[in-house]
Amino acid sequence: MNTPLSRRTALQAAGATVLAAGLSGALTATEAHADDGNSAPKLVTYPLPAGQPTNTSFRVRVRTAPDGDWGTLDVYRPQLEEINPTTGSGKVYNSSMVYFDFRGSVELEITYLKGGTTKARVRPDSYGIKPELGGDTLVFTLDEPKDLVVQINDEIFDCLHVITNHIDPNPPSADDPDVLYFGPGVHTVAGSVLNVPSGKTVYLAGGAVLSAQVYFKDVEKAAIKGHGVIASPYNGILVEGSKNICAEDVIVLNPRGGYVSTLGESQNVRYKKVRGFSSRGNGDGIDIFSCSDVVLDGCFLRNSDDCIAIYAHRWDYYGDTRDITVQNCTLWADVAHPVNIGTHGNTDAPETIENLVIRNVDILDHREPQMNYQGCIALNPGDSNLIKNVRIEDIRIEDFRWGQVIYMKVMFNPKYNTSVGRGIEDVYVKNLSYTGTHANPSLFLGYDAEHAIKNVTFENLVINGVVIADSMKKPKWYYTTDAIQWFYNEHVTNLTFLTTAEAEAAAAS
């Protein structure tokens, strides 16, 4: 996978120069879009590079609010997948995406060119955006950058993804020796892998498309940033054996194999507003193996398998996984789980997955026919893994197509595991809400008395507007889970449901 050192050295030295031997597409300086220090509304848009696939379902215009000049946005074509539950085959759909930067307020005008519009929805619902709809055109205003999905007539795939950024206050110079700079246009790298040295930053200017994997291997203090697109053939961002790595703002589109990003045996990794789309089998979003001190913040992921997966050992990655935070994210799983934890580990030298925080997350969809792979959030330790010390807080789950709200199972799945997981311990779930009608019963399944689920507390669990608590009114012989048709077996101990007032009283006592 390694690009020769001479090639890498030449790239660093060249700055904005075209390197015909290893690159196609000029590395030219882009316009400077630095914040000029005032608060006047400002809008920056980027043309779609020549030859990049587009989609024709939407016309999108944007202007600074309330009366700036309208500009038409070019539309990218992310691809998405749906699994046929009878045959197991996957069907790939074309979808739409636009992106731009702004300061102040902007107004979006979106027209569905196929016609026949009867309703429009802007998601996540928690943002409370109610568009004005007239015919096939809807209009709404944004006061700050957000990542959104615009759906017409409840279309799942033929929808529009709107990705927005703050204007970059300090973009690097194209001739900075510590920056591998890619200006607007399409760029390829020899071998389709861009190796990033220690201390260097890859910068994708708005309007740039890099058709290569960005690879951090055994390096420190390196980064990938900018408002451009990675169109990698495999694993958009790969981080292995590295420390102090940052990825920020970039969009990963349509990897033809692998994941949006893989992190293996790495420490102190920060992902801020990384966005990713996938449509191929096992097309996960961001997968974490045997890592510590990782933060995924503000990411938008729509994937054809798990959006975020947290594991221990697999392949050539070994060791515990700990101190992982997922926050402020929006997740849409067309296949499998929005969040999956624990499947892979090391039976010969058992590992622990611990100290996990998942907070302030909007889950837009989940579709999985197989019972073993359901759960908007799934804790599924196998391979002698132990999952412990998990905090799940402020999770908003919109109605999804097929699956469970939450799933905890100490498992031995012969397809993936060589031993049963050791257990699940000390999980606290606060302010999780689900509104909808499609959820299957959530399951909590210990394997046996030695491989059990222990100490799981729900505080302010809200299902369709009803707070679920052990103190709620019900027949005295009912389990609390019967009120919402959930199930737990005899190998689950100390499963508790509290109101917020009860939790606060217990903490004060």
**Whether the bond into 233 is cis, omega within 30 of 0:** no
Q: What is the pLDDT of residue 24?
A: 33
State how far the Cα of 187 lies from the Cα of 232, in Å rounded to an integer.
Answer: 11
Neighbours of 145 (CB within 10 A): 19
Predicted local distance difference test score (pLDDT) of residue 5? 31
- Cα 62–65–70 angle (5° rounding)? 35
The model's pLDDT over 399-448, given as tens digits with 9 standing for 90+, comes to: 999 999 999 999 999 999 999 999 999 999 999 999 999 999 999 999 99
In sequence order, the 6+-apart residues with CB closer than 8 A to the CB of 138 are 109, 110, 117, 120, 131, 132, 150
Does 424 lie in the same domain as 282?
Answer: yes
**CB distance 32 to 171 below 8 Å:** yes
- Has residue 216 been placed in a domain? no
128, 263: one domain: no
Does 433 reside within a domain? yes
Q: Residue 72's domain spans which residues? A: 42-166
3-state secondary structure of 10: helix
Whether residues 300 and 442 share a domain: the answer is yes
**Three-state secondary structure of 170-216:** CCCCCCCCCEEEECCEEEEEEEEEEECCCCCEEEECCCEEEEEEEEE
User: Rounded to whole angstroms, how far apart are CA atoms 278 and 303?
Assistant: 5
Same domain, residue pair 262 and 363: yes
Question: Is the same domain home to 159 and 261?
Answer: no
Residue 124 lies inside a defined structural domain of this protein: yes
Instruction: Report yes or no on 215 lying in a domain.
Output: no
Predicted local distance difference test score (pLDDT) of residue 26: 26
**Which pLDDT belongs to residue 275?**
98
Any residues with CB less than 8 A from the CB of 357 and at least 6 apart, and which? 324, 325, 326, 327, 390, 391, 393
Q: Which of 122, 145, 166 is the last residue of a domain?
A: 166
The closest alpha carbon to 145, from 207, 227, 51, 228, belongs to 227
Residue 213, in any domain of the structure: no
Pairing of strands 220-226, 330-333: unpaired
- Taking each continuous run of H as one helix and of E as one strand, the counts in the chain are 2, 45
The answer as to whether 62 is a domain residue is: yes
pLDDT at 35: 55
Number of domains in the chain: 2
Question: What pLDDT was estimated at residue 36?
Answer: 53
Residue 99: predicted pLDDT:
98
Do residue 158 and residue 274 come from a single domain? no
Q: What's the rounded Cα separation, in Å, for the pair 200 and 172? A: 12
Would you state the structure tokens that stand for residue 179, as one six-digit string?
Answer: 């920056």
Which pLDDT does position 419 carry in this prediction?
98
Residues 418, 278 within the same domain: yes
Claim to verify: residue 495 and residue 364 sit in the same structural domain: yes
- 209 lies in some domain: no
- For β-strands 71-73 and 79-83, DSSP reports them as unpaired
Indicate whether 140 and 285 sit together in one domain: no
How far apart, in whole angstroms, are the C-alpha atoms of residue 193 and residue 261? Answer: 14
Q: Are residues 155 and 291 in the same domain?
A: no
pTM higher than 0.85: yes
pLDDT tens by residue, 117-168: 999 999 999 999 999 999 999 999 999 999 999 999 999 999 999 999 999 9
Distances (CA, A) of 118 to 59, 127, 244, 489: 17, 22, 49, 46
Which of 122, 149, 166 is a domain's end point?
Answer: 166
Total length of the chain: 509
For residues 310 and 456, state if they share a domain.
yes
- In 32-122, which ranges are continuous DSSP H helix? none
Partner residues linked to 386 by β-bridges: 352, 423
Q: Does 5 reside within a domain?
A: no
Low-confidence ranges of the chain (pLDDT < 70): 1-38
Specify whether 136 is located in the same domain as 280. Answer: no
Of the three residues 142, 166, 190, the one that is the final residue of a domain is: 166
269: enclosing H helix or E strand: strand 267-272
